[in-house]
Amino acid sequence: MKREEFDHKWFGIRTDEMTDEQFAAFKEDCFSLHEETGFVDRFDSPYDDEGKHNGMAFKVVRRATSEEVDAEALPVWLIEFENGDTAYCYPEEICKIEHSDKTVKTTWNVRRMSCHKEADCEDVATGLPTYGAALGCLNRIARTSKTVVTHTSKSGHVVVLTQNDEATLYWIYKK
């Protein structure tokens, strides 16, 4: 499946509103999209907790299952590093399609905004290689903090997450 086909098929459909059959098809399309374009040669994670493996060669062992990781987190793959360590990895860490912009000096960043003062704003992720990686970061924030993405602007740069009827604004921007 090509990126354009995937985007056309799934744009604007929230996973929390999908039937079980739709969600299964969505997960399969996510895996297919990334596997068809292949994996990079070296691990490169934008997340601090996996940074110790950056630059290491790895092999993909298999797809992760919803019994191993939260189904909402898929697609995720189990990989084995050259030193024998194993880890469950997201597309932005190992997939070519998410690293396609690495030749360009532009990177994507995710900033949590504050309606009170600029000093309360903070970048929650920086140096992400693609917009898709930045959106993936927001999806993980949403899952770990029990929030829901409620709006994405047409330009795709502003996302609002809500928790307990409180809104938090995130801005995806290029640097």
pLDDT, one tens digit per residue, over 82-139 is: 999 999 998 888 988 777 654 444 566 676 665 555 555 677 777 776 666 776 777 6
**pTM, entire model:** 0.60
Residues 66 and 143 in one domain: no
Residues 92 and 114 in one domain: no
Residues 7 and 91 in one domain: yes
Residues 67 and 146 in one domain: no
Q: Quick one: tokens of 112? A: 């949590």
Residues 69 and 7 in one domain: yes
Looking at residue 69, its amino acid is: V
Task: Among 96, 115, 136, give the residue marking a domain's end.
Answer: 96
Range of the domain at 49: 3-96
Residue 23 or 123, more confident: 23
Task: Among 96, 117, 138, give the residue marking a domain's end.
Answer: 96
Mean pLDDT of 65-78: 84
Count Cα neighbours of 100 within 13 Å in the Cβ-side half-sphere: 9
Residue 78: predicted pLDDT: 95
Structural element, H or E, at residue 77: strand 77-81
User: Rounded CA gap, 158 and 112, in Å?
Assistant: 10
Model confidence at 154, pLDDT cuts 50, 70, 90, reads very low
Residues 79 and 145 in one domain: no
pLDDT tens for each residue of 80-98: 999 999 999 988 889 887 7
Residues 72 and 26 in one domain: yes
Mean pLDDT of 21-31: 89
User: Rounded CA gap, 57 and 68, in Å?
Assistant: 23
Q: At what angle do helices 3-10 and 20-37 cross, to 10 degrees?
A: 160
Residue 97: predicted pLDDT: 79
Residues 120 and 148 in one domain: yes
